[in-house]
């Protein structure tokens, strides 16, 4: 059975990833900041015959990540998806920026995914073909210039580099590591005017992960499977 770990699984793309993998019969560790308030995720878990474990993890907090590790124990993790994200404050302009929110963005989206991989490394090593996918953004790419999003873009650009470095360092352990732009998605973050639904995005991300191997480690994808120019 495939074991999948997802962060930020209570809403948006993370919730739909959890649903898609559970529907396929995978064992899903669905982490979120506040399990008690995660109504849609808890409803999914109730209907999934024990295949979805809902547990707490704030990826901006090392202690919380370590507590999440106790929930997983020694189970192998075949697929680890770093999905949790924040905008990092609003507005993010030259004359008006919230530095605390920027620091939080870096903690949650740049350092957090590294810590999650570091913490669950024994679980990844215990899987036969382990894969790490980090949901980043086209705003991470120098080929996609976009004004004002200093906090968000720097955190996503940072995590792309972190994941590229991990891809090199973990290749010898047989762990494939990649990054993906999920599309412009109709979630709380993307807004109702976005291009695609969270279900479409999750299906695309899942298909890219299915095709991922050590031959593709370190690559930056789009949700439709194309390589994202970086």
Closer by beta carbon to ligand NAP, 11 or else 171: 11
Nearest CA to 115 out of 163, 77, 76 is that of 163
Closer by beta carbon to ligand NAP, 34 or else 49: 34
177-216 residues near ligand NAP, rule: CB under 6 A:
181-182, 184-185, 187-190, 194
H/E run at residue 80: strand 79-82
**Distance from C-alpha of 213 to C-alpha of 122, rounded to nearest angstrom:** 19
Residue 56 and residue 33 in contact, taking contact as beta carbons nearer than 8 Å:
yes
CB of 47 to ligand NAP, least distance (A): 19
**Distance from C-alpha of 118 to C-alpha of 124, rounded to nearest angstrom:** 10
Beta strands 131-135 and 176-181, pairing class: parallel
Closer by beta carbon to ligand NAP, 60 or else 204: 60
Stretch 124-153: interaction string toward ligand NAP, x if CB under 6 A: -----------x-x----------------
The residue range among 22-30, 57-65, 90-98, 207-215 that interacts with ligand NAP, by the rule CB under 6 A, is 57-65
Cα first-last separation, the chain: 34
**Distance from C-alpha of 127 to C-alpha of 187, rounded to nearest angstrom:** 32
Stretch 19-38: interaction string toward ligand NAP, x if CB under 6 A: -------------xxx----
Judged by CB under 6 A, which of 4, 5, 6, 13 binds ligand NAP? 13
Tell me which residue has tokens 């705003």: 139
CB of 4 to ligand NAP, least distance (A): 16
**Distance from C-alpha of 92 to C-alpha of 146, rounded to nearest angstrom:** 12
**Distance from C-alpha of 214 to C-alpha of 200, rounded to nearest angstrom:** 25
Judged by CB under 6 A, which of 20, 54, 83, 114 binds ligand NAP? 83
Give residues in contact with ligand NAP (CB under 6 A).
Answer: 7-8, 10-14, 32-34, 58-60, 83-86, 108, 135, 137, 181-182, 184-185, 187-190, 194
């Amino acid at each position: 059975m495939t074991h999948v770990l997802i962060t930020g699984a209570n809403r948006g793309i993370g919730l739909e990833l959890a649903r898609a993998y559970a529907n396929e019969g995978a064992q899903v560790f669905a982490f979120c900041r506040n399990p008690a308030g995660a109504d849609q995720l808890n409803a999914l878990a109730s209907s999934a015959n024990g295949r979805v474990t809902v547990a707490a993890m704030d990826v901006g907090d090392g202690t919380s990540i370590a507590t999440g590790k106790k929930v997983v124990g020694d189970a192998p993790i075949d697929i680890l998806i770093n999905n949790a994200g924040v905008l990092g404050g609003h507005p993010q302009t030259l004359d008006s920026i919230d530095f605390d929110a920027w620091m939080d963005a870096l903690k949650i989206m740049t350092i957090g995914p590294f810590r999650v991989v570091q913490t669950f490394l024994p679980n990844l090593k215990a899987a036969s073909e382990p894969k790490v996918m980090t949901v980043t953004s086209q705003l991470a790419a120098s080929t996609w210039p976009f004004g004002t999003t200093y906090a968000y873009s720097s955190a996503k650009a940072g995590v792309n580099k972190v994941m590229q470095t991990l891809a090199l360092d973990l290749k010898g352990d047989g762990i494939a590591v990649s990054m993906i732009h999920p599309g412009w998605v109709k979630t709380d973050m993307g807004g109702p005017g976005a291009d695609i639904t969270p279900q479409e995005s999750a299906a695309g991300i899942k298909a890219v992960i299915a095709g991922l191997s050590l031959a593709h480690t370190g690559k930056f994808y789009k949700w439709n499977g194309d390589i994202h120019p970086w």
